[in-house]
Amino acid sequence: MSDELVRVELVQQADYRFDTRFGGDVPAVLTDEPPPLGSGQGPSPVQLLCAAVGNCLSDSLLFALRKYKQAPEPLRCSVEAQVGRNAEGRVRVLAMQARLQLGVPAAQLQHLDRVLSQFEAFCTVTQSVGQGIAISTEVRDAEGALLKPAAPLSHGSS
């Protein structure tokens, strides 16, 4: 992919609530901090970060499988962020864990070992965020069989 500039515009509605605009025909999203700062009327920045990581991982896994003409749908993904205080006592996202689930049994998919060994490397958001936050990724099939155990990405100091 060539270099590109992605722009998102936030317009304050009240207190910590913002109308988050993505441009074009993409609908705006109302974002907000949870109480006691905000009123929790929309996703928080940490929830948006989790959504971005999960969406990118899901896209990368789907793309990698479709390259081999495989149909893993419907994919599911959940992402948890551990929020706590860093050494300076400031609240930070300390670690994240993503859990992806294929929509079919592993036996129905070809080239799965190869896909699982490399799909994360092509995830723009996860690789970028992972430079500062440890992110572990686990993949299971539709029957719950563990295909890729969670192993944290290496990350830089923050």
107 CB neighbour count, 10 Å cutoff: 10
Q: Select the CATH number that applies to the domain covering 45-152 from these four: 3.30.300.20, 3.30.70.3270, 3.40.50.300, 3.40.1710.10.
A: 3.30.300.20
Using an 8 Å Cβ cutoff, are 100 and 76 in contact?
Answer: yes
The one-character DSSP state at 128 is H
What are the structural domain ranges in the chain? Answer: 1-43, 45-152
| Closest of 154, 129, 131 to residue 57, by C-alpha | 129
Per residue in 8-36, pLDDT (tens digit) is: 999 999 999 999 999 999 999 999 999 99
Burial 43-57 (b: 16+ CB within 10 A, else e): bbebeebbebbbebb
The reported pTM is: 0.91
Per residue in 88-147, pLDDT (tens digit) is: 999 999 999 999 999 999 999 999 999 999 999 999 999 999 999 999 999 999 999 999
For residue 61, what is the enclosing H or E element? helix 45-67
